[in-house]
Each structure stands twice: as structure tokens, then as C-alpha cells.
Amino acid sequence: MIKSIALAFSFLTILPVFGERARQVSPRELAASFSAFPIVGAALGLLMAASAFLLSTHVPLPILAVLLTLSMAVLTRFLHLDGLADLADGLWGGYTIERRLEIMKDSRTGSFGAAALSLILLLKSASFFLLLTHQAWPVFFMSPVFSRFAMVLAAHGSPYARKEGGLGESFLTHMTLNDLLKAASISAALSLPISILHAAILMMAAVAAAWTVRAVAIRMLGGITGDVLGAINEITEALVLAAGAILAHNLS
């Protein structure tokens, strides 16, 4: 499990824990790291929640909301945002599966990708502002936990879209049901003690987002890629933050 945690941190953040990023690993080790994705989310969530709590009395809330959004992007080296932009360009820029996948490999960001990035970042910043206003600290912690779990949920049992293969294929084809169950158990163990109400509602939002994007990707791309998983993380995180903000607003 220690190896899985180290690999998960190295793939999902700018932190090369235990030097695993430079180490040669087997496809099965890559797939096993899925089980530790929620732990990475918990570390990011704890950092966000602590920063929000400590800075909320010293930094104007609109500015702090934008800084938190930026911090999440930097800590994940913009990897998931890049996947979202590529997926948006591919889905709306091509009319066949082959053309969509070709567009997604292009390093340039088109108008669809730019629009997707703008909307997601705006939604996150607005949600952070409302969460700060209502001091809904549990949501800061749980949103990255559930968004990382959403990637695991979407990956399990999904075909890899690219016929020529790729890094994402190692994750998908060697993933087991046990990896998914571990990730689900870790997510529940981390979130339920903090707030059962928030955890139940936000988990349902995460599951719905993961299954929806997965279904769209399989239909329009023929399967899942690394970009799709990154997009699932960003979309789920934004929706969970928004759901938490709405919940906090209505309970206040």
C-alpha cells in the first residue's frame, strides 16, 4: 500500500513521494495505485481546508477563493485541467471517434477547451467563495477525496479508447475490483466521520458525475483515456464543490 500511495502522489501531484516518479514500475503496480487516489485527495483536501480556515479572516474572501482554485491547479501541475481541455476539444471538434481522439492528442488548446476551462474555474471559484462565506470546512476536505474516487470508479471495467495503447491502458487493463473496493472504503473512512450528511450527498454527486462522463466517453470515443480521467476529476470536483456550496447556503 505504501508503494501505491507513493505512485498515486507522483502521478496526481507535483510531489514525487519516495522518488517513485523516476522508478520503473510494472503495469500492475500502476493499476494498484488507483486504490490510493482518495488518499491523495485527502491530503489536498486537508491542505485546502486548513488554508481556507487560517486565511479566511485575513484575506478578502473573493481573492481567497481564486487563490484556492489556483493552488489546486498548481499542486496537480494542471494535469487534470489539461485533460478537460483536450476532452472538450475532442468531443465538440470531431465527428468521428478517430478524429476526436486525434484532436485530443494535439497539444494546442482550441476554443472548446478554453471555454471548458473558463467555466470550470469560474464554478470552482464561485463555490469556494460561498463555502468560505458559510464556513463549510468539511466540503473543502471532501471534494478532492470524492473527485479522485470518481476517477477510480470511472476507470473500473472501462475499455481503453486508443488502439495504439498508451500509459492509461496500463491503469485500466490491470485494475481489479479489489482496487475499486479499497478506494471506496478509504473514501468512506475519510469522509463519514467528518460529516455524514455532507458525505452522503456529495458522494452521490460524485458518482453521478463519474458515470455520466464515462458513458459519454465510451459512446463518443469508444472508451476511456488519461485525458478522460483528468476531465472526470475536474468536472466531479467542481460539481461536488457546487453541491456543497448549495447545501451550505440552504442550511444556513
Is 133 part of any domain? yes
| Number of compact structural domains in the chain | 1
Is 92 part of any domain? yes
Is 252 part of any domain? no
212: CB partners within 8 A, 6+ apart: none
192: CB partners within 8 A, 6+ apart: 199
Is 147 part of any domain? yes
> Residue 66 sits in which domain range?
2-20+36-245
pLDDT digits (tens, 9 = 90+) for 17-65: 655 454 567 878 888 899 999 999 999 999 999 999 999 999 999 999 9
Is 31 part of any domain? no
Output the pLDDT for position 2: 83
Is 27 part of any domain? no
d(CA 247, CA 122): 19
**Is residue 107 predicted with pLDDT exceeding 80?**
yes
Is 206 part of any domain? yes
Whether this prediction's pTM lies above 0.75 is answered by yes
Contact 252, 130 (CB under 8 A): no
Is 30 part of any domain? no
Output the pLDDT for position 20: 47
How confident is residue 193, by pLDDT bands cut at 50, 70 and 90? confident
